[in-house]
Structure 1
């Protein structure tokens, strides 16, 4: 034991490193202890998540400050050390620095948060975690249709918040506009078809329409944007084969697929109940004239 003690005392560098490791370990243990304490003490999911991330962030910043002040020997030299360190690693660690800066930007500006549905760098999904380096998402789309989960968890560098647009489906206004087309056969009772479609859409979407009106007023007050129609609207276009109905409506961003199914199924049943007055169309081909065919059979 004395030999080890003498060896450490004779090598001040080893002693200094060992002492720093103990200090860093102590800080990390304190961070983990506080995170576990908050996880058990706070019942609200959002508050618990934010408090844990705050403790983690403050702890790591404190650890960096302690590291520089320890090895420079004087806290006054901290600014100089930061400058020298930044000049040395800015190029090689630019992606890492951008990721950390991105996490701070996401937290301060509230670009998105866990629970939001976003699209960034061509990837669409629900945000399930944001840490100091990565944004973790549950992917939707890709090989599955509509807005269903694909089952893949995607980790994306926070640096991408500076590199392109971020589409947020749920922030400020958790509704989106959707639409689909209905082909109505020529000769059908168009007025009856219009009333059926509007009545079904109004009843099916009444809850979304009422909730979105209040939300949209807040958006108009917050941003420079004109007022919008949130009630279902129907536009008619005449085509070569049928009368095309275009139904446009507002829906909760997480219920787009199931709502479209309910609308289509209800409209189909309503049309079938008209006893042929309203008929869905399909592609038709009309032969105006059959060309003459001459067959010359030599004996």
Structure 2
């Protein structure tokens, strides 16, 4: 807080000094400089001290507080630029023409930058994603750790790492991507996703028993997630048109040439996909080991014969004709 007060007092002091000098020498530039530094100090007082302090006191949620702080920073820099330019071009018509010419030239030369800026403003207004969300955009997956005016920073997941776990890399994405790419948000309104696990069992196995035991295991492991998922789906249905959908674990049977495939569908927390699959897989393997009438199936190949070697084929067919 002391530093912010100092940043407010420094331009204010400069403005006072320049104004006193202007009263003494009557110089146009001294007058404009005094007005500019005074405007800068007022803008800083309003945005960085009064408004930012209000956000800190009134908003308790850390993610919302962070987003509002970033929005205040954007408005602060925009107001600062307008204050500086407006000070040196007092005529409104000239000011409007100047803004238009400068804006047109900059828009053509720096269109990618302006797209990123527009994307950043859109993110703060619409909340397509926020800090802490897990997103996918332009085939990049990760957890959002910062949303700036021009770029979004994510902690990357996937790539060569399985199970939606971090790679350890930081990706810097331009905010312009939200304008022309689909954004998939894993945690915006639903904190869970559905996962599937295929368990092949032999035709000699007791498939009914296997189905019931696997369903029992999955329900035990995903109980808290399924309860929370049902409540979240109900809340989503109140906001959007959404037919009632089952979120509890299910097992679906598929007949193949080699085995009976038990497709297990279950909800899991978006950030615990691999952990949940590991727990369920271990529990299913332990169950199979304890049940003699349930066997995991695998592909088999029956070899019905071998080709004869070249020497043996030549001996059978005899010497070639001359």
- The answer on 1:102 being equivalent to 2:89 is no
1:129 is displaced (CA, Å) by 1.1
Q: CA deviation at 1:60?
A: 1.0
Q: Following superposition of structure 1 onto structure 2, how do residues 75-94 of structure 1 map, counting pairs within 5 Å?
A: 75=92, 77-94=94-111
1: distance between equivalents of 2:56 and 2:125? 26
Q: Tell me which residue corresponds to 1:272.
A: 289
Q: Say if 1:38 and 1:52, in contact at 8 Å, map to a contact too.
A: no
Residue 299 (structure 2) aligns with: 283
Q: 2:4 — aligned with what?
A: none
Structure 1 residues 85-94 or 113-122, which shifts more? 85-94
Instruction: Write the deviation string for residues 123-142 of structure 1: whole angstroms up to 9, x where unpaired.
Output: 11011111211111111111
CA distance in structure 1 between the aligned counterparts of 2:245 and 2:223, rounded to whole angstroms? 16
* In structure 2, distance between residues paired with 1:290 and 1:277: 33
Larger Rg computed on CA atoms: 2
Partner of residue 266, structure 2: 249
Q: Deviations over 1:216-242 (max 9, x none)?
A: 012122223322210111111111221
More off after superposition, 137-146 vs 166-175: 137-146
> Structure 2 vs 1, CA of residues 236 and 20 (structure 1 numbering), >3 Å: closer, same or farther?
farther
- The alpha-carbon deviation at position 52 of structure 1 amounts to 2.0
Call closer, same or farther: CA 1:220–1:47 in 2, change over 3 Å. Answer: closer
Matched, 1:193 2:181: no
Q: How many residues align?
A: 289
Tell me which of 71, 84, 91 is aligned to 1:67: 84
> Deviation per CA, 1:14-40, whole angstroms, max 9, x where unpaired?
x68966885687578656667996798
| Other-structure match for 1:238 | 255
Query: Which is richer in helix?
Result: 2
Give, in whole Å, the separation in 2 of the partners of 1:202 and 1:208.
10
State the Cα distance separating 1:10 from its structure 2 match.
11
RMSD of Structure 2 on Structure 1 (CA): 3.0
Q: In 2 relative to 1, CA 58–36 (structure 1 residues): closer, same or farther, beyond 3 Å?
A: closer
Instruction: Give SS of 1:230's match.
Output: coil
TM-score normalised by the chain length of structure 1? 0.84
Inter-CA distance 192–58: structure 2 relative to 1 (3 Å threshold): same
CA contact (8 A) 1:177 1:250 kept: yes
CA drift at 1:85: 1.9
Cα distance in 2, alignment partners of residues 17 and 119 from structure 1: 49
* Partner-residue secondary structure (3-state), 2:245: coil
Displacement of 1:183: 1.2
Are the equivalent residues in 2 in contact too, given 1:34–1:55 (CA < 8 A)? no
Contact 1:69/1:77, CA 8 A, preserved across alignment: no
Q: CA deviation at 1:154?
A: 1.5
Q: CA offset at residue 282 of structure 1?
A: 1.5
The question of whether the paired residues in 2 share the 8 Å contact of 1:172 and 1:215 is answered with yes
SS at match of 2:266: strand
Which deviates the most, 141-150 or 157-166?
141-150
Q: Which runs of 5+ in 1 are unaligned?
A: none
CA–CA distance in structure 1, aligned partners of residues 26 and 90 of structure 2:
20
Q: Distance in 2 between matches of 1:162 and 1:47?
A: 23
For the residues of structure 1 that align with 2:129 and 2:73, how far apart are their CA atoms? 19
Distance 2:84 2:40 in 1: 12
CA contact 1:232–1:248 (8 Å) conserved in 2? yes
